[in-house]
């Protein structure tokens, strides 16, 4: 077994360390690798995780770390100590603008970077999305079952006010996007298409926001992270390239001859830039095929007291005929909390 330690020292952000291992043909122990880690600066300062319990993943806050110092990771796995090389954080790019555009099908998000004095040709970009969305169906009624064996269906009651779980908020954090901007470089400026989603997507229902952060990567960091991405996608193993092509800057402190794999990067995190979009491009979503059922039939009745009910006109049959009535759908289609949302409005709105 070979221990693998991957880390990113993020000065001005949260450093992350991940523990894993590569098995050999002689291995019989397939227990997960658990470790602890700290970040040290060259003056002896320590940055520690909020948890001292060994785990496969460690997060270390470094919001107030000095960007002028060198740093390294010191980790321990099963009583064995591993350290990285001392690393100088690179100056981050400046995020100048986040802009939106649309065509008939999609909403597009583009970012403009000023790569700064430490430009290497490579960036790591993070982004978080937050949006307000509605359930796919708007409930004007709710279901009340009748507990009488001789009656096969219940009542549907008209709502006096809009269903409270029609509108919700949702958030998604994305892993680092690796950017080789050699072909996009123009006088220190990069214009990069970061994200795109269909106009019918729930992110385009009402309000949308995206927050972008970025860091400058060295060429070695970029190559290691790119190789790691291929591994996670199943394209290759950590050692499928020529061993001399796999960068490694971590070693066993207590036994220098012990084999270890992994790479630690160090960068300053840029000041985040958040942009907002009030949707002007809403296209209603309506695709009831196989999802809605008339509540009057016992084989399709809702089992939940208060289940949302919609009223709508549905196409039926091969000749485009229309049938009108009241229908129910699975909760995740008519209740935004069941669809993964929250009623808690973000504090930045």
Only one residue has tokens 């509108």, namely 167
Band (pLDDT 50/70/90 cuts) for residue 309 is: low
Identify the pLDDT of residue 305. Answer: 53
Domain end (from 183, 199, 214): 214
Taking the CA atoms of 187, 189, 191 and 192 in sequence, report the sign of the dihedral they define. positive
The answer to whether residue 344 is domain-embedded is no
What pLDDT shows up at residue 95? 95
Identify each DSSP E strand in 12-70 by its residue range.
14-22, 35-41, 46-48, 57-61
Q: Would residue 63 count as lying in a domain?
A: yes
Are 199 and 323 contained in the same domain?
Answer: no
* CA of residue 315 relative to chain centroid, distance: 37
pLDDT at 319 over 50: no
106 shares a domain with 117: yes
Sign of the alpha-carbon torsion through 124, 204, 334, 346: positive
Q: According to the model, what pLDDT value does residue 76 have?
A: 93
> Which three-class secondary structure state does DSSP give residue 27?
coil
In this prediction, residue 346 has a pLDDT band, given cuts at 50, 70 and 90, of very high
Q: Give the pLDDT confidence of 190-243 residue by residue, as tens digits.
A: 899 999 999 888 999 899 999 999 999 988 888 878 877 776 665 555 545 444
Per-residue model confidence (pLDDT) at position 161: 81
Whether 191 and 118 share a structural domain: yes
Question: 276 in a domain, yes or no?
Answer: no
Same domain, 113 and 197: yes
Query: Are residues 237 and 266 located together in one domain of the fold?
Result: yes
Q: Report residue 4's pLDDT band, with 50, 70 and 90 as the boundaries.
A: confident
Instruction: With respect to residue 290, please indicate whether it lies within any of the assigned structural domains.
Output: yes
Task: For residue 154, give its domain range.
Answer: 141-168+281-334
Q: Which of 247, 270, 293 is the last residue of a domain?
A: 270
Please give the tally of structural domains in the chain.
3
Please tell me which residue, 237 or 249, carries the higher pLDDT value: 249
How far apart are the C-alpha atoms of 182 and 200, rounded to whole Å?
34
pLDDT of 108 > 60? The answer is yes
Average pLDDT for residues 150-179, to the nearest whole number?
80
- Across the range 20-29, mean pLDDT stands at 63
**In a shared domain, residues 78 and 152:** no
Distance CA 94, CA 269 (A): 10
pLDDT higher than 70, residue 314: no
Please indicate, yes or no, if residue 341 is contained in any of the structural domains.
no
> 101 and 188: one domain?
yes
Do residues 264 and 295 both lie within one domain?
no
Q: Residue 62: its pLDDT value, please? A: 94
**Domain assignment present for 340:** no
Q: Are residues 15 and 71 in the same domain?
A: yes
Residue 317 sits in the same domain as residue 178 = no
Q: Are 22 and 81 found together in one domain?
A: yes
Percent of the chain, pLDDT > 70? 72
Same domain, 250 and 202: no
How confident is residue 177, by pLDDT bands cut at 50, 70 and 90? very high
Mean pLDDT of the 68-79 span? 94
- Do 117 and 269 contact (CB within 8 A), yes or no? no
The answer to the question of residue 339 being in a domain is no
Work out the average pLDDT over 108-129. 92
Predicted confidence at residue 235, as pLDDT, reads 52
Query: Which pLDDT band holds residue 151 (cuts at 50, 70, 90)?
Result: very low
Q: Where are the alpha helices (DSSP H) in 150-239?
A: 219-232
In a domain? residue 343: no
């Amino acid at each position: 077994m070979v221990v693998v330690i991957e880390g990113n020292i993020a000065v001005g952000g949260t450093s992350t360390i991940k523990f894993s291992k590569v098995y050999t043909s002689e291995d019989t122990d397939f227990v997960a690798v658990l470790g602890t880690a700290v970040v040290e600066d060259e003056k002896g300062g320590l940055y520690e995780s909020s948890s001292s319990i060994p785990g496969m993943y460690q997060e270390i806050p470094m919001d107030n770390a000095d960007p002028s110092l060198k740093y390294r990771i010191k980790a321990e796995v099963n009583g064995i100590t591993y350290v990285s090389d001392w690393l100088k954080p690179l100056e981050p790019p400046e995020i100048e603008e986040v802009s939106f555009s649309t065509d008939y099908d999609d909403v597009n998000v583009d970012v403009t970077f000023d790569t700064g004095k430490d430009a290497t040709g490579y960036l790591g970009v993070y982004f978080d999305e937050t949006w307000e969305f509605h359930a796919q169906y708007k409930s004007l009624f709710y279901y009340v079952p009748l507990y009488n064996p001789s009656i096969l269906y219940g009542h549907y009651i008209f709502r006096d006010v809009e269903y409270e779980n029609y509108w919700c908020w949702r958030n998604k954090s994305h892993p680092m996007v690796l950017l080789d901007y050699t072909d996009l470089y123009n006088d220190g400026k990069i214009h990069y298409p970061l994200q795109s989603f269909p106009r019918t997507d729930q992110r385009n229902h009402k309000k949308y926001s995206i927050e972008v952060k970025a860091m400058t990567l060295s060429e070695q960091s970029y190559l290691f992270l790119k190789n790691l991405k291929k591994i996670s996608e199943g394209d290759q193993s950590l050692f499928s390239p020529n061993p001399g092509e796999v960068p490694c800057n971590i070693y066993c402190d207590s036994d220098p001859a012990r084999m270890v794999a992994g790479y630690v990067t160090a960068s300053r995190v840029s000041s985040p830039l958040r942009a907002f979009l009030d949707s002007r491009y809403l296209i209603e979503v309506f695709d009831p095929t196989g999802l809605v059922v008339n509540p009057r039939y016992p084989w399709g009745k809702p089992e939940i007291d208060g289940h949302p009910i919609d009223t709508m006109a549905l196409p039926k049959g091969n000749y485009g005929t229309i049938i009108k009535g009241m229908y129910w759908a699975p909760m995740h289609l008519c209740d935004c909390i069941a669809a993964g949302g929250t009623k808690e409005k973000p504090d930045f709105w």
